[in-house]
Amino acid sequence: MPMTPRSPGPLPTTPQAPPAGPACAVDLADACRWRARWADAGERVVLTNGCFDLLHVGHTRYLAAARALGDRLIVALNDDGSTHRLKGVGRPILPLAERAELLCALRWVDAVVPFGTPTAVALVTALRPDVYVKGGDYGAAGNRPPEADAAEAVGARVAFLPFVAGRSTSAIVARIREADRRGGDRGAGPAAGSPRA
């Protein structure tokens, strides 16, 4: 007797609930365990930190270049409170859970570790990366991040990567506001800025 294909049934009328959270977003204790396992396997661990609010091409190119310096990439991610203190009114645009989920979706990112302190020095000290990475704008005289000194203290190499000019969350927000002010004209070129996380 011939079989007839079974109908998949009606499409759901409400969106399916997302998973409880991205698998790569972990607390510091779990990140330290993962880091130890990677070290046992002979893998070089790269660490960076930032807000990564409203993910853009400057972020993705930076993270790809950071991961290329090792075998695993850990991103220490500012929580909502510390992002607001760093970036000011209206920030973050995206909440911590969504920023972590977006980062975990990138193939270059192996772990995301949220933190709420003014700096990520404690995470650098605990995770003991092989390489610590920050954007090139932080390498300028007088703008060296405290995490760089902490990284060198645990024997890590410190690298400052070039950024993509005109690609930053602040520049994107400025372009949107300018377009709204002009009545929706989005044909203007990119605003000046840097892809600081």
Which domains, and CATH codes, for the chain?
Answer: 28-163 (3.40.50.620)
Between 46 and 137, name the one with better pLDDT.
46
- Cα distance between residue 20 and residue 156, in whole Å: 34
Whether 22 shows a pLDDT value over 70: the answer reads: no
Considering Cα of 171, then 56, then 95, then 182, what sign does the dihedral take?
positive
Helix (H, G, I), strand (E, B) or coil at 98: helix
Whether 162 shows a pLDDT value over 90: the answer reads: no
- Cα distance between residue 151 and residue 173, in whole Å: 32
Q: Among 18-27, 159-168, 180-189, whose mean pLDDT is lowest?
A: 180-189
Q: Return the residue matching tokens 């130890």.
A: 36
Q: Among 40-44, 51-55, 124-128, whose mean pLDDT is lowest?
A: 51-55
Q: What is the pLDDT of residue 21?
A: 53
Q: Using a cut of 0.95, tell me whether the model's pTM lies above it.
A: no
Q: Do residues 193 and 134 make contact, with C-beta atoms less than 8 angstroms apart? A: no
Whether 117 shows a pLDDT value over 50: the answer reads: yes
Strand partners, 158: 132
pLDDT band per the 50, 70, 90 thresholds, residue 197: low
Percent of the chain scoring above 70 in pLDDT: 75
Q: What is the pLDDT of residue 32?
A: 98
When the pLDDT of each residue in the chain is averaged and rounded to a whole number, the result is 83
